[in-house]
Amino acid sequence: MHATVATLTSILFLAVSVTAQQTAGTTTTTWDCCEPACGYTSNLSPGATGPVKSCNQNNGVASAGAQNACFTQGGGAFSCQTYQPIIVNSTLSYGFAGHGNTATSSCCKCYQFTWTSGAGVGKSMIVQAINAGGITDTDFDIYTPGGGVGDYNACTAQYGAPAGGWGRQYGGVTSDAECSQLPSNLQAGCHWRWQWAGGDVNEWQITYEQVNCPSQLTSVSGCIPAAI
């Protein structure tokens, strides 16, 4: 009888530890041109060294003390063009995302997800969280130009985008052809969604887990999270 309980307990433990590895979630898209939330040292997750870089209007280094262009009229801190997705091969891309309802829970952590629905089924991304947000706590709001300016639009100030942004306010452009509306330095990251992921990306299902960050991401963001 004791052996049976022990066996059941170890089976339950195994089931819990396997399912705890991968969490179900979703993906959405963003490109609001704002200084990311992880650009504030006070928002970093425990043990992270940062903050993430923010840029001036021309994608140079933002000056010290520059205010977030999304919250201060004339503010000089924006997103950097280097936060566009990076294609590794046909099934893996690196990138940056908003993730988690609070910045301090996620800032600078990296996650690997695999799409389980949508045209990108089977493809994966390794993303670093540089912002909070997304539609739920398990969403990844992928930085891709033309991904939607969302609640706070600094793309009009940075690039002269239309007041509601390029395409939909949430989700952005609706086809690869609409990427032609964007400035030339953001086009590759706009085409990434349609040509590499294979479609809109918004509300596609995923499973994900936290991973250690590749240096290709931390060297761009300038932020290194605590090792897992």
Please report whether residue 92 would count as binding ligand NAG according to CB under 6 A. Answer: yes
Strand partners, 95: 127
Find the catalytic residue in 139, 141, 151, 200: 141
The minimum distance between CB 181 and ligand NAG, in angstroms, equals 31
Find the catalytic residue in 32, 137, 176, 200: 32
Strands 139-143 and 23-30: parallel
Q: How many CB atoms lie within 10 A of CB 66?
A: 18
Contact status, residue 99 vs residue 27, Cβ threshold 8 Å: no
Binding-site member from 21, 91, 136, 195 for ligand NAG (CB under 6 A): 91
Distance CA 113, CA 122 (A): 10
200 is annotated as an active-site residue: no
Binding-site member from 17, 42, 73, 90 for ligand NAG (CB under 6 A): 90
Considering the complex, state which of residue 94 and residue 143 has its C-beta at the smaller distance from ligand NAG: 94
Burial (0-12, 13-18, 19+ Cβ within 10 Å), 16: exposed
141 is annotated as an active-site residue: yes
Please report whether residue 89 would count as binding ligand NAG according to CB under 6 A. Answer: yes
Per-residue contact flags (x/-) with ligand NAG for residues 22 to 61, judged by CB under 6 A: ----------------------------------------
Distance CA 124, CA 188 (A): 19
Please report whether residue 211 would count as binding ligand NAG according to CB under 6 A. Answer: no
